[in-house]
A and B are shown apart, each in its own frame.
Chain A
């Protein structure tokens, strides 16, 4: 029997922001948009992010969504019904012709799906300052994560040794710690957990 003891859902603006940022990531990041002079895509992505979130997280009709965002009902419908798999193929260069789908809609739907599967759409953010990190004695974890930024998991020992080379964690060489772990390591959280057990 599931028990929900605190408020859930509801923060549409925060969810739309996350979908928007993830959409930019899917396109290769903000820098890529700048390099390819595609910054004009940003308003469409923002609009699509809101449509996708409102359609999936509230019970609004296309008409109500269109009215809330100042767009036409047909645009709202096109965004919400875009075939994200077709759009993904187009972005990957697998299609010769541009599909009839709403591209920004497809990207936003891909982003929404990714965040939902990873449970990242509704998590609550907690900001930790340097002082809190030192009090909690977890600065080593922050440094490890900073060095691993951009690395795709699961990872091998060689990949970790390459990224974390020369680090000392609680007086121990990181190579020594990494040698005692089991591989592959599936997520950053698993890596931190295993390191913590060794120090």
Chain B
């Protein structure tokens, strides 16, 4: 028998709308609209929406894992438990990377260490090839460690030689994260045929359609005099942009923003691209 609800019955089940901090200016790029007096005002959400499952996509070396790890450190240092499913990089490399992030972000590594759990799927065929086994392991970690945030880096690695199953696999993990009430980041890669600035990830647009929102990271090599003049950057330098392509849970800034990966290995979001160009001209 099909289940249905009257809209008012869902009031008690609807999650609260607030932000889960990333430690970057992304926290201001998501916003909510509230009534103040007689007018509506935009207020920064303070992070990615609570319980949202966000797709973080981009070409290689665009900063996806850097941003995901920064989110992990921001949450863990604030006392929240984070589960990282590493599909690409073995756990001991991730450990080093997280330790460096803590130093760069002035976070207490002891606190972060206590609050992060890692599932290393990079070296386990069963975890990588069997979504059920991976989800059971994630459920174990979430339940035993009281995790509230999950990062999968990358979701693409779970269907890398079976892209026809991308939609099915992403749907399974999306439903899993919703059922376990997790705020999630799914890092996904792009195929070489896809436009670097688009939200289309490996697996096609299906990935973006399933998740609650997509954040696209892009990078462009400054190669021509025109680009040099436009962006005010020397030839050979790299312009990095970040853009919220869509989010069904809350309002957001739609403009591409320029960011840099600092020498300490953290994402530092600077300003909207149009302001960046204006300033350089």
Contact = CB atoms under 8 A, between A and B. Distances in A.
State the 7 A-B residue pairs at the shortest beta-carbon distance, nearest first.
A10-B136, A9-B140, A7-B133, A8-B140, A3-B91, A5-B120, A9-B136
Contacts of A74: none
A1 interface: yes
Q: Which of A3, A4, A8 has the most CB of B within 10 A?
A: A4
Interface string B110-131: 0001101111100110110010
Interface residues of B, number: 27
A6 interface: yes
Interface in A1-40: 1-10
A81 interface: no
Contacts of A8: 136-137, 140-141
A53 to B, nearest CB: 13
B143 to A, nearest CB: 8
B136 A7 contact: yes
Q: Which of B98, B132, B136, B141 has the most CB of A within 10 A?
A: B136
A59 interface: yes
A147 B196 CA distance: 70
Interface in A23-76: 57-59
Contacts of A57: 143
Nearest to B95: A1
B117 A10 contact: no
Interface of A: 1-10, 57-59
Contact of B91 (A5, A7, A9, A59): A5
- Secondary structure at the A interface, as helix, strand, loop or mixed, is loop
B145 A2 contact: yes
B124 A7 contact: yes
A5 B90 CA distance: 10
Interface in B232-259: none
Nearest to A10: B136
B117 A4 contact: yes
B118 A4 contact: yes
A56 to B, nearest CB: 8
Contacts of B133: 7, 10
B120 A3 contact: yes
B230 interface: no
Interface string B140-156: 11010100000000000
Given A1-B98, A2-B145, A59-B179, A9 B137 contact: yes
A7 B139 CA distance: 11
Contact of A1 (B113, B123, B134, B143): B113
Given A1-B116, A1-B117, A59-B180, A6 B139 contact: no
Nearest to B123: A5
B146 to A, nearest CB: 13
A5 B133 CA distance: 12
Contacts of B123: 5
Nearest to A58: B139
B232 to A, nearest CB: 41
A9 B139 contact: yes
A6 B126 contact: yes
B147 to A, nearest CB: 11
B118 A3 contact: yes
B95 A7 contact: no
Given A1-B95, A5-B91, A5-B123, A10 B137 contact: yes
Contacts of A6: 124, 126-127
Contact of B118 (A2, A9, A58): A2
Nearest to B109: A1
A9 B130 CA distance: 14
Q: Which of B113, B139, B145 has the most CB of A within 10 A?
A: B139
Contacts of B179: 59
Given A2-B118, A3-B95, A57-B143, 13 more contacts: A1-B98, A3-B91, A4-B118, A4-B119, A4-B137, A5-B123, A5-B124, A6-B124, A7-B127, A8-B140, A10-B132, A58-B139, A59-B180
